[in-house]
Structure 1
Amino acid sequence: MGNGVFASRIRKLRMDRGLTMERLSKDVKVSRSAVAMWESNGTVPRDDLLIKLSKYFGVSIDYLLGNEKMEDKGPESERLQYIQRSLGKLDETRLEKAEQMLSVMFDDIFDDEEGTDDI
């Protein structure tokens, strides 16, 4: 038995970000048919993939599984989603260049993020 909430949330998150099933499958390193099964049957993936999906979409595992509602974060969230959709359309080479440019422009922010791994 599948999880209909999981299916609809994965589909909505993917579509809200302008991602194809193919792109999502490549980004999280699964087959396209796995993504299709998540969205059509509500097949819940292994724990390691749930963690990867929650990080990828910036939501909790509880949200993905239907145990909590996602708060609307307003315009700031919409702006971040726009940026994420745009970056999702880049090929790997351009994505790496974008990341390099951002890290140069905002090195103080990127340095702070790297330091959190030590905690």
Structure 2
Amino acid sequence: MVIFMTAKDVGLLGLRIKELRKEKGLRQSELATTLHVSQQAVGSWETGRTVPGADTLNVLADYFNVTTDYLLGRDGKEENSTDTKDLSEIMNSIMTYNGKELNQHDKDVVEGLISAYLNNKE
């Protein structure tokens, strides 16, 4: 099975693998040993240089107790859905960044920065 992904999707997949690995307190080498792959393979997934195959994606989902849709950045809705979320909804749903928990103040600051940026665009 071949998985076609955009650069954005590949980056999100890598970010999710890295965050889940860190939540478990694992080094790349430890995850690699568990999955029977090289540490370089895990590093390549996390940086978006490569993507795991479909079988490995299933193993990752099972290991981290998440769905493959979650790993791939899908929320179960059709890709062409017109359903959108407001920035404030998204910020309220974010719990961590790079494995570090965000408090409400952190979320407010990030939301303010994004809002200021978008309001000052051409």
Distance in 1, matches of 2:73 and 2:31, equals 20
From 3, 22, 27, the equivalent of 1:20 is 27
Give aligned pairs, total. 70
Aligned twin of 1:101: none
Q: Is the 8 A contact 1:13 1:57 kept in 2?
A: yes
Normalised to the residue count of structure 1, the TM-score between the two structures is 0.55
Aligned to 1:60: 67
With a CA cutoff of 8 Å and minimum separation of 6, indicate the structure with the bigger relative contact order: 1
More helix, by proportion: 1
- TM superposition shift of 1:44: 1.7
Name the structure 2 match of 1:43: 50
Higher-Rg member (1/2): 2
Gaps of 5+ in 2: 1-5, 77-92, 94-122
Q: Which runs of 4+ in 1 moved over 3 A?
A: none
1:10 to 11, 17, 24: 17
Q: Percent identity?
A: 40
With normalisation by structure 2, the TM-score equals 0.53
Unpaired stretches in structure 1, ≥5 consecutive residues = 73-119
